[in-house]
Structures are given as C-alpha cells and as structure tokens.
Amino acid sequence: MGLLIKNGTIVSSTAEYQADLLIEDEKIKEIAVNIPEGDHEVVDAAGKYIFPGGVDEHVHMGPFDSYGFETSHAALVGGTTTIVDFAPQDQGDTVINSFHRHKDEKAKGIASPDFSFHGMVMDTSEALLDEIPKMVENGIVNLKFFMAYNGTPFHVEDDLIFKAMQICKDYGITPWVHCENGDMIEVLKEEAVKNGVTKPIGHYLSSPPTVEDEAVQRLIYLAKLADCPVFIVHNTTEGACENIKRAQDQGQPVYGETCTHYLTIDTSFLEKENFEGAKWVCGPAIRPKEHLEAVWKAVKDGTLMGIGSDHAACVGGFEKAKKRGIDDFTKIPNGVPGMQDRLNMVWTQGVEKGRINRQDFVRLCMENPAKVCGIYPQKGALLPGSDADVLIWDPNYEGTISVENSYEGTDYNTFEGFPQKGIADKVFLRGHLMAERGKLVGEKGQGQYVKPQPYTVCYSNYHQKKAE
Ligand code: URP
Ligand code: ZN
Ligand code: ZN
C-alpha cells in the first residue's frame, strides 16, 4: 500500500500539469494521469500545487552562536525538507575531521529535515591544500571561504583561496565564497565608531555595497586565473549581479545565490527605533531598496540560481544576544533566522507579486539548490525514484508572518508582520507527513544525511568549454 496524491497540479521548473503522484517505500514510485486508487491511502490535493520539498542550500546550524539542528524542524514547517549546512572547521583540526564530528555529533539523530553539508574553512593553515584531494570521498563537494570577517577564524586571505581553487577544480569541488572586502570593512567600522556612530545602521555604513561589488569582482578574477568554477553566496547588490552576469556572458563558470532577506528587507529596517534595527544585522548588510529590485531581476533572469535562507538564529535572540551591541553596533552578533519562512516570503513577495512565476519558484527554491549541492535528483525533484519529499501548497491561504508561529527558537521573526499568501498545506519527508498548515505533526530528529556528488551543475559548462 502506498500514498497516492490525487487531483493536484504538479509543478517543476519547466512545466506544470495535472497528474497523480504515488509514493511507495519513501520514494516517488509513479507520476501519471489517473492512477487507480487500489488500496492506497489517498490524499486529495484538488486546487493545490504539488512541489518538490524545498531545498535550502545555505543554513548555519551551530557556529555564529546560533541554534543548531534542534530547531531544524522549523524548515519542515515552512515546506523545506532538506537543509544544507556549513560544517565549521575546528581550529587546528582538518576540514574533514571537523566535518565528520559536526555531522555525527551535531546533526545525526537531531536533525528533522534531511541534511547535507558544505565544508567550511576556518583555519588559515596551508594544510588545507593537502586534504582537498580526499574531500569528495568524505562527502565534501563544496568548500566555503570567507573573504570578510577579518580578525576571526572565518577570514581567509586571497592567496589561500587561489591555491585551493587550483586544486579544487581537479576534483570537481566548487569553492563557495562569501565576498566582501574585509580590510575595507575594518577601516570603515573604525571610522564610524570614531564619528560616534553606535546604532545598528553603523553596520550598513561600514559594509556598503562597494565592499561586496569589489570582492565579487576580485573573486571572479581569482577564479579566472585559477580556471576554477565558483559559487558566490548571498549576493545582495546590483553591482555584484552585474559582475557575475558579465563573467557568465564571457563564458566563465561563475554562479551564485541570494537569500530571502536580501530580496525583502531594506535599510529602513536597520533604522528602526529602540535598537530594533539590530534584528536585521547580518553579513553582508541589508541593502537600500533599489538593490532589492536588481536582485529580483537577477534571480528571474538566471544570473543567480538559488534563494537560500542564510538562516543563522542567534541563541538569545534579540533580547539576550543582539542587545549585546546596544551601545556599540560592532558588538551586535551577525545573522538572521529565516529557514521557516523562506518559501512563504519568496511565494508572497515573488510569485504573488509577479516578479517570478511558479516554475521560477521551483527552480530557485528546490531544483537549483539541490543541483548546486550535488544532491539532485534524489532531492529537489518530483521524478520516479526521487525521495518522496513532497510539498502540497495551498495558494488560497492568507495570513501574517509572526514569531508566534515560529519554530526557529528565537524571540523575533525576521519577517514579522509581512503578509503571507499561500501555505505549506502538507509536507512529506520521504513519504512521511511532517508538517501541516504551519504546525509540526511528525516526529523530530528523523532527518537523514544525504551524501552529495562532486562536479555539480557549476561544472557543466566548464566541461563543455574544455571539450571545444
Ligand atoms: O550574518 C550572517 N549571514 N551570518 C552567517 C554567516 C555568513 O556570512 O553567511
Ligand atoms: Zn557569508
Ligand atoms: Zn551564511
């Protein structure tokens, strides 16, 4: 006996059509018109859309003083069935050892959605270069570097990024890079403090769009010189998108994503009274309105291929964590929660407002995230043989986003008060019903690890070019 979803409209990145979908043994068994009911359990999805479960390619479950996998069921409630975390390197240990420790101690048996990882470099030792050849067999196909965050273990100099790129390309590993000019941020921060700026807007003033535009272009040059595909994380500016588009037009394998808040929150939020602006302090900084439209254009035209959440929910939330910087914006911890409402926001602000269509929604929030993480089509697709991660979406729901309904563990919601049109009506993880209309109904801690494959989609044009 299987689970048969009938009468819904199935949506992929290229098509939508009326069909039934049969789930057996945690996999999608069949998609066809009029599958006989037999002895299957039937779910009626009339009037609803059927999407692949959401895939969030960018979450932080742990470092940055943020909540870990114990709150990851928030993703399921919002319709995201797979999250891909950045496994932090422990100082003095290898990326690979740290990755296994993070996976086995922090995620296994605790994660509620299925999960995978990117490696994350947090030690500037050149020992990194020796372990790259062994990364793929250990499950690391994307490797994160930070050009920003000077003076912390996250920051990596250009020379190490460049040397790593020269090796990564031989193993099908894609460097994922946080592009901001860390040196400039430090200078601007000092200047702002000297000028008496204490409020959260100081965070934006010391990391303006140009520090990102410059680092994105520099990274593109480094990647060109190393002849290595790259993926640029959380792009937020018109200039960054232009730089990426120009490189793509020249045939360079440069890819990128943006994140929900860079499409929906602008600098006026940072200026809210009573220190409220601190809620939106994150890296890169929230941008002025005009950048938001430029980034929507970039996701629509394919310059950027995914929308992640960059979920990083500070333990202590606003009252106990963000307020550490009440007299000094440089002390406000970075990061915003967002894995629960990513799909709600992209649907409401994107599809409902005509900025993107339903196919784009699937492309940006499900398919491409799975492809860039090397886990497609096990994840991110409604295909026979794929994991039965199925999201039944009711487009007729109308409500308001609020921390009251949040499972993210924080005392505020990044998108508080935003209207919500549409809701994850039913969320199936490998065929098991996990969430219904904003409520968790499944058991926590049932998430399974998904091992990624190297040579993700970021390598497809690369090989074509080499073959010419
Ligand atoms: O503020 C943020 N985004 N914290 C997470 C770290 C990052 O840079 O992705
Ligand atoms: Zn980052
Ligand atoms: Zn991040």
Residue 350 scores a pLDDT above 90: yes
How far, in Å, is the centroid of ligand 1 from the Cα of 432? 32
How far, in Å, is the centroid of ligand 1 from the Cα of 194? 25
SS3 readout for 340-355? CCHHHHHHHHHHCCCC
Confidence of residue 299 (pLDDT cuts 50, 70, 90): very high
Query: Across all residues in the chain, what is the average pLDDT?
Result: 97
| Ligand 1 nearest atom to the CA of residue 259, by list position | 3
For the chain, the distance separating the N- and C-terminal CA atoms, rounded to the nearest angstrom, is 50
Residue nearest to atom 8 of ligand 1 (CA): 283
Residue nearest to atom 3 of ligand 1 (CA): 283
Instruction: Indicate whether 8 belongs to any domain.
Output: no
Residue 461 scores a pLDDT above 90: no
Please confirm whether the linkage preceding 284 is cis (ω < 30° from 0): yes
Instruction: Indicate whether 361 belongs to any domain.
Output: yes
Q: What is the pLDDT at residue 463?
A: 73
Asked whether 266 and 234 are in contact (CB, 8 A), the reply is no
Residue 468 scores a pLDDT above 80: no
- Out of 56, 58, 60, 212, give the residue to mutate to test ligand 1, the one with the largest number of ligand atoms within 8 Å of its CB: 60
Residue 465 scores a pLDDT above 80: no
Instruction: Indicate whether 20 belongs to any domain.
Output: no
Residue nearest to atom 7 of ligand 1 (CA): 283
- Out of 181, 282, 315, give the residue to mutate to test ligand 1, the one with the largest number of ligand atoms within 8 Å of its CB: 282
Helix axes 182-194, 209-226, angle to 10 degrees: 160
Residues of the chain with pLDDT > 70: what percent? 99
How far, in Å, is the centroid of ligand 1 from the Cα of 227? 27
How many helices and strands (H and E) does the chain possess? Answer: 15, 19
Average pLDDT on 100-107 reads 97
Average pLDDT on 283-302 reads 98
Q: Which ligand is nearest to the CA of 280?
A: 1
> CA separation (Å) from 130 to 11, 28, 99, 168?
44, 40, 16, 11
| Ligand 1 nearest atom to the CA of residue 283, by list position | 1
Residues with CB under 6 A from ligand 1: 60, 64, 178, 282-283, 310, 312, 334-335
For the chain, what is the radius of gyration of the CA atoms? Answer: 21
- What is the total count of domains within the chain? 1
Instruction: Indicate whether 412 belongs to any domain.
Output: no
Instruction: Indicate whether 70 belongs to any domain.
Output: yes
Asked whether 121 and 175 are in contact (CB, 8 A), the reply is no
Instruction: Indicate whether 391 belongs to any domain.
Output: no
- Domain holding 75, by residue range, is 51-380+451-459
> CA separation (Å) from 425 to 48, 77, 80?
9, 9, 12
Tell me which residues have their CB within 5 A of the ion that is ligand 2: 178
Average pLDDT on 19-29 reads 98
Residue 337: CA atoms inside 13 Å, Cβ hemisphere, count? 32
How far, in Å, is the centroid of ligand 1 from the Cα of 284? 7
Give the Cα separation of 57 and 369 in Å (integer): 5
DSSP codes of every residue in 279-329: GG--SSPPB-HHHHHHHHHHHHTTSS-EEE--B--BTTIIIIIGGGGTT-G
Give the Cα separation of 138 and 31 in Å (integer): 34
Q: Which ligand is nearest to the CA of 312?
A: 1
Confidence of residue 64 (pLDDT cuts 50, 70, 90): confident
Asked whether 306 and 368 are in contact (CB, 8 A), the reply is yes
pTM, to two decimals: 0.98
Give the Cα separation of 387 and 380 in Å (integer): 9
List the CATH number of the domain containing 310. 3.20.20.140
pLDDT digits (tens, 9 = 90+) for 397-426: 999 999 999 999 999 999 999 999 999 999
Residue 466 scores a pLDDT above 80: no
Confidence of residue 225 (pLDDT cuts 50, 70, 90): very high
> CA separation (Å) from 46 to 36, 333, 398?
16, 45, 18
Nearest to 173 by CA among 247, 120, 101: 120
pLDDT digits (tens, 9 = 90+) for 182-211: 999 999 999 999 999 999 999 999 999 999
Amino acid of residue 111: A
> CA separation (Å) from 335 to 17, 35, 73, 354, 435?
39, 46, 19, 29, 26
| Ligand 1 nearest atom to the CA of residue 281, by list position | 1
H helix intervals, 111-196: 127-131, 158-168, 182-194
Q: Residue 149: which residues within 8 A CB-CB, separation 6 or more?
A: 155, 178, 182, 283
Q: How many CB atoms lie within 10 A of CB 341?
A: 31
Residue nearest to atom 4 of ligand 1 (CA): 335
Asked whether 96 and 121 are in contact (CB, 8 A), the reply is no
Nearest to 60 by CA among 123, 117, 105: 117
- Look up tokens 């460097």; give the residue: 175
Instruction: Indicate whether 269 belongs to any domain.
Output: yes
Residue nearest to atom 2 of ligand 1 (CA): 335
- Phi, then psi, of 89 in degrees rounded to 5: -75, 135
Please confirm whether the linkage preceding 337 is cis (ω < 30° from 0): no
CA 339, 340, 344, 345 torsion-angle sign: negative
Angle at 305 between CA 427 and CA 449, to 5 degrees: 45
Residue 467 scores a pLDDT above 90: no
Instruction: Indicate whether 360 belongs to any domain.
Output: yes
